[in-house]
Amino acid sequence: MELTIDTSTKFASVGISDQGDIRREYSWFSNQNHTIELLPAVEYILEASSVTPSDLDAVFVAKGPGGFSALRIGMSIAKGLHVSHGLPVIGISTLDIEAYPFIDSGLVVCPLIDIGRGEKALALYRKKDEHFEKLCEEKVVHTDNLMTIIDTPTIFCGEGAVNLEISSGSMTDTNFVYWRQYCPTRRPGTLSVLGYRQLLLGGPKDVSTLEPTYMRRPSITTPKN
């Protein structure tokens, strides 16, 4: 059994999977309250699944891009389970999670995550043979410049694309393929598939070197009581 944790954005999730097949999942709008909401959510999903930490074989955690404090709490709980129960921790890019459901489309896939000030974190993907191929390094691009990074029909997807038609004026380009989604755009089942695949390839070499990908400065927020 595996535990999935995704605190990349305001929409958080946890899940329980069995060899990568999701068995139970829970997603919610956390806003900026991951610090006080994540641990109860983990306890809930374990209890609802009749699973204890000792029953787990691994933890799959979304490593960003995303919010500083949100990613930090998700990674901290994952690493805490590694320390207390010896569980391997597999970090998966949040952009990988956003892109994977569209990889069989036959088009290039560009997932987007908002990082503030009109900027998006993104990467480009396509399916090559049976592989999930990343065409470029993760980068930050302003919304107004999105069309400069593509030269072929491309699906724009992910949480950062939900309101893209409204926020960008260059969406009439014929290479732009907008895939309408509703939040939350990421499912624990996708994280479990990607995480388990990585686990079979040998998993993490050194959990202590696993760090979140922020791509933006930390912000100070006040959690609700």
Please, what is the end-to-end C-alpha distance for the chain in angstroms? 33
Q: Which CATH class is domain 2-93+186-209?
A: alpha beta
The pLDDT assigned to 172 comes to 56
Over residues 25-51, mean pLDDT: 97
**Beta-bridge partners for 176:** 154
Q: What is the pLDDT of residue 148?
A: 86
Q: What does the pLDDT average to over 181-192?
A: 95
Has residue 5 got a pLDDT over 60? yes
β-bridge pairing 89-92 and 58-62: parallel
pLDDT of the residue at 170:
53
Per DSSP, 130 falls in state T
pLDDT > 90: percent of the chain: 72
Which has more pLDDT, 39 or 146? 39
Taking each helix axis from N to C terminus, what angle separates 68-85 and 34-48, rounded to the nearest 10 degrees? 40
CATH fold match for the domains 2-93+186-209 and 94-178: yes
H or E stretch including 24?
A: strand 21-29
Pick the range with the lowest mean pLDDT from 84-98, 150-164, 184-198: 150-164
Residue 66 and residue 12 in contact, taking contact as beta carbons nearer than 8 Å: no
Residue 72 predicted with pLDDT over 60: yes
123-158 confidence digits (pLDDT tens): 999 998 878 899 999 999 998 888 888 888 999 999
Three-state secondary structure call for residue 116: strand
Better pLDDT: 221 or 2: 2
pTM: predicted TM-score of the whole model, two decimal places: 0.90
Which residue has better confidence, 203 or 107? 107
Q: Which residue ranges make up each domain of the chain? A: 2-93+186-209, 94-178
* pLDDT number for residue 214: 86
* Pick from 98, 43, 28: nearest CA to 66: 98
Report pLDDT for 220.
47
Lowest average pLDDT, out of 104-113, 168-177, 188-197, goes to 168-177
* pLDDT value, residue 166: 47
pLDDT band at 173 (very low <50, low <70, confident <90, very high): low
Cα separation, 155 vs 150, whole angstroms:
10
Average pLDDT over every residue of 117-121 = 91
The CATH class given to the 94-178 domain equals: alpha beta
